Amino acid sequence: MRNLLDLAPVEADRLLREFAVSHGEAAYRGSQVVPHLWQKPVASFAAMTDLPKAFRERLAEHFVLPRLTLETGQRSTDGTRKFLFRLADGQAIETVAIPDDDRMTFCISSQAGCPLQCAFCATGAMGFARNLAVHEIAGQVRELALLDPPVRATNIVFMGMGEPLMNWSAVDVVLSVLNDPKGFGIGARHITVSTVGILPGIEALGRRKEQFRLALSIHAPSDALRQTLMPVNTKYPLAAVIRAAAAFERRVTFEYVMLGGVNDHPEHADQLATLARECGAFVNLIPLHPGGAMGFTPTSPEMIARFARRIRGHGVEVAIRKSRGKDIAAACGQLRVERLRRRPPAGPDDDREVQVA
């Protein structure tokens, strides 16, 4: 049984047209299936009612459309929603949907857990389970579009659990699913891949012709400090990451989480501005989520504002990210950590609290 949700739309279209013809249908019948995969998703072949019943039955005999089980959902007072999905092998991943004016940004996961162990990150502290498959990454967007009422993404950031560029073979296909008009049709400029600086992945992303955005998790402006916060810095030191960012032909954003007394001194602002100038980066300062990191305290809003002004004084564009979903622990990995504390991961059929319609 072939999984249609692991394929780029163009691949699925080709395969389904061939399938239709080999089963005595016109090729266009195969193409008619494609919008139901992502654009106007349905839960099963039986629900593709614009197709002849016999053809739907043939499809169900040869292909699968695997679902993710929505285990919990939480809504913050600011409208941010956080979802925990259980995968077929019992792993749990999370997705956050953040409304902002007319935008709906989904923060999606690319791995179950994360191998990189950044000191301030709840996901890193959980360890690494495995890479997600295409249908498990893109499926997060699909499942929310299947809710009643549907929640549809206008923007995507790969800032959930995991390091997307360590799962490039899947993320490469997911980018096509997200961007292709036969997939979700989300503009490439509205899709951001966030990385700690996995160099081969940055190069691979740079080779894609679409204008996907790159965000770099910098978090410390010197090797010495970054080493203590992000062990990956040993393999991919700051200078090499900045060189890769400078070679990346599109706009790059620096992500910089403000850790009280650790990386928020005035000289850090100066160093960060110098790095940003080297590669023409925009700087995003991220207030630490209260309770989000063991052993760290947030920088005060006044100090963040001062830090931002100092960076701007060097001619570098900077923004302070709004902290969203504070009351539901919407920082990376926290919902999953809360659930795990209560109960270890179980089989896919166990204890569902919220069921996708």
Give the residue at shortest CB distance from ligand SF4. 124
In the bound state with ligand SF4, the residue whose beta carbon lies nearer, of 211 and 222, is 222
Q: Residue 317 — φ and ψ, nearest 5°?
A: -75, 135
Print the binding letters for residues 236-275 with ligand SF4: x by CB under 6 A, - otherwise: ----------------------------------------
Cα separation, 66 vs 152, in Å, equals 19
Q: Does residue number 118 form part of the binding site for ligand SF4 (CB under 6 A)?
A: yes
In the bound state with ligand SF4, the residue whose beta carbon lies nearer, of 48 and 216, is 216
Judge whether 107 counts as a catalytic residue. Answer: no
Print the binding letters for residues 145-164 with ligand SF4: x by CB under 6 A, - otherwise: ----------------xxx-
Cα separation, 28 vs 31, in Å, equals 5
Q: Does residue number 229 form part of the binding site for ligand SF4 (CB under 6 A)?
A: no
- Contact with ligand SF4 (CB under 6 A) among 68, 121, 191, 293: 121
The tokens for 303 are 């100090």
Q: In DSSP terms, which residues pair with 2 in a beta bridge?
A: 63
Asked if 301 and 265 count as a contact pair (C-beta separation under 8 A), the reply is no
What is the pairing mode between strands 81-86 and 111-113?
Answer: unpaired
DSSP letter (8 states) at residue 78: T
Print the binding letters for residues 124-143 with ligand SF4: x by CB under 6 A, - otherwise: x-------------------
CB atoms < 10 A from the CB of 41, how many? 20
What is the pairing mode between strands 103-107 and 63-64?
Answer: unpaired
C-beta of 117: minimal distance to ligand SF4 in Å? 6
Q: Look at the alpha carbons of 241, 246, 252, 257 in this order and tell me if their dihedral is positive or negative.
A: positive
Q: Does residue number 123 form part of the binding site for ligand SF4 (CB under 6 A)?
A: yes
Print the binding letters for residues 171-210 with ligand SF4: x by CB under 6 A, - otherwise: -------------------------x--------------
C-beta of 354: minimal distance to ligand SF4 in Å? 24
Q: Does residue number 292 form part of the binding site for ligand SF4 (CB under 6 A)?
A: no
Judge whether 317 counts as a catalytic residue. Answer: no
For 346-354, the CB contacts below 8 A with 24+ separation are 346/90, 347/90, 348/69, 348/86, 348/87, 348/88, 348/89, 348/90, 351/71, 352/69, 352/70, 352/71, 352/86, 353/71, 353/72, 354/70, 354/71, 354/72, 354/73
> Checking phi first, is residue 336 left (phi over 0); if not, alpha (psi -120 to 50) or beta?
alpha
In the bound state with ligand SF4, the residue whose beta carbon lies nearer, of 116 and 245, is 116
> How big is the site for ligand SF4, counted in residues (CB under 6 A)?
12
Among 191, 265, 253, smallest CA distance to 225 is for 265
Q: How far is CA 82 from CA 76, 141, 218, 278, 332, in A?
A: 8, 13, 25, 36, 10
- Contact with ligand SF4 (CB under 6 A) among 31, 39, 76, 117: 117
Cα separation, 335 vs 328, in Å, equals 8
Selecting among 94, 136, 163, 255, the annotated active-site residue is 94
Q: Does residue number 331 form part of the binding site for ligand SF4 (CB under 6 A)?
A: no
Q: Does residue number 114 form part of the binding site for ligand SF4 (CB under 6 A)?
A: yes
Q: Does residue number 279 form part of the binding site for ligand SF4 (CB under 6 A)?
A: no
- Contacting range for ligand SF4; rule: CB under 6 A; set: 46-54, 99-107, 111-119, 296-304: 111-119
Asked if 157 and 106 count as a contact pair (C-beta separation under 8 A), the reply is yes
- Contact with ligand SF4 (CB under 6 A) among 92, 308, 332, 335: 332
Selecting among 107, 114, 121, 332, the annotated active-site residue is 332
- Contacting range for ligand SF4; rule: CB under 6 A; set: 98-106, 109-117, 181-189, 248-256: 109-117
Query: Which residues sit at the interface with ligand SF4, rule CB under 6 A?
Result: 114, 116-118, 121, 123-124, 161-163, 196, 332
Which residues participate in catalysis according to the annotation? 94, 332
